[in-house]
Amino acid sequence: MDLSLTEEQAMIQDMAKKFAESELAPVAAQLDETYNETLFLSNINKLSELGFMGLNVKAEYGGVEAGAVSFSLAITELARACASTAVTTSVTNMVAEVIQSIGNEEQKQNYLPKLCSGEYRAGGFCLTETMAGSDPAGMKATAVKEGDTYILNGTKVYITSASFADLFVVWAVTDTSAKKGKGISCFLVEANTPGITISKREDKMGQKASPTNQVIFENCRIPATALMGQENQGFSIAVSELAGGRIGIGSLALGIGLAAMDYAREYIVERKQFGQSLSNFQGLQWKLADRYTDLEAARLLLMQAADNKDKGLPFSTSASMAKYFAAEKANTACYDALQIMGGAGYIKEYPLERFARDVRVTSIYEGTSEIQKVIISRALLSEVS
């Protein structure tokens, strides 16, 4: 098995790393403190100009056509510097891939170049509801057909980038008489459509520069041409696209975990106690060995899932394994890195407390760790049932 990167993959990884170091790292703490949306969007626009908003989108639609492995590598490097920027990049790519996967030619030609170029500042993935998070099939939002339009009503919650996203992919029930999960459809809705209200941004524990909002649809009338794919077949689309999104979030978690451990490693080489460098103490050495081994294993799982996706092989289970493992091990890495630094890790002067806050949600969004274990175990049992 050849685990080496192609020239293109290595180039994209290097470009993401250089951008993260020069543009994101210097302002990450400021963005965490101030939520400066102008500064945040300036970096998002720069990433669009570099092609990072359409990494797995075909060139004919304005994308880079670099594949899932390149996407994973890029998100990891961006997350090392700023998790908020990385998650917005990941979700916008996810929205673009939904459109490329199931949109008709007119929808692809109309929307994908705008997402990839930055004309649309971001894309929003409107699936989750208050009573339909880990169980999205239980959503209550509806889309009622009326002539050549649909009328959307309902509220979506925890929507990344909602306050500045210019395009939403929205799931809603179109057949209320169908069995649970069988009467759901998928729509493309522009943010300036009358009937859409964006709530104030949530006051979150971490990833604060990336806004998270409710998106409220009140008699929001959209054309019938906004339907993507077949009516009442939208739930399978959501399940499929979430698998790809899990590669993104697993990669994001990996980036945060690596950033935390790298910082702690440098700190203990310079810091002295009992007349010698902290790096001489076996207890700390073993923490480094354990956590870097975990993170390397996470990287390999992510690469496997991404490579399977690029090759057109089944990747849903491998993506769940990668996301579950990477998120859990990155959380452990951030907390161990903070512990290695002692009291200094708890002080905002150092980035460890931000890393610890930013990483926590990776085991929650795009499917909790518990949901990943359900998906993995069902796949394993289906092989013998």
Q: Are 107 and 285 in contact (CB under 8 A)?
A: no
pLDDT tens-place string over residues 292-349: 999 999 999 999 999 999 999 999 999 999 999 999 999 999 999 999 999 999 999 9
Provide the pLDDT for residue 332.
98
Q: Which residue spans within the chain are E strands per DSSP?
A: 123-126, 142-146, 149-160, 167-173, 184-190, 196-198, 212-223, 227-228, 272-273, 276-277
Q: How, if at all, do strands 212-223 and 227-228 pair?
A: unpaired
Mean predicted confidence (pLDDT) in 257-285: 91
pLDDT tens-place string over residues 201-247: 999 999 999 999 999 999 999 999 999 999 999 888 888 888 999 99
pLDDT tens-place string over residues 99-117: 999 999 999 999 999 999 9
- Tokens of residue 99, six digits: 């459109």
In order of their start, the domains of the chain are 7-121 (1.10.540.10), 124-232 (2.40.110.10), 236-382 (1.20.140.10)
Question: Of residues 23, 241, 353, 366, which has the active-site annotation?
Answer: 366
Average model confidence (pLDDT) across the chain: 96
pLDDT over 70 for what percent of the chain?
100
Report whether pLDDT(279) > 90: no
Active site residue 366: yes
Q: What's the whole-model pTM score?
A: 0.96
Provide the pLDDT for residue 275.
85
223: helix, strand or coil: strand
Beta partners for residue 186, in sequence order: 171, 228
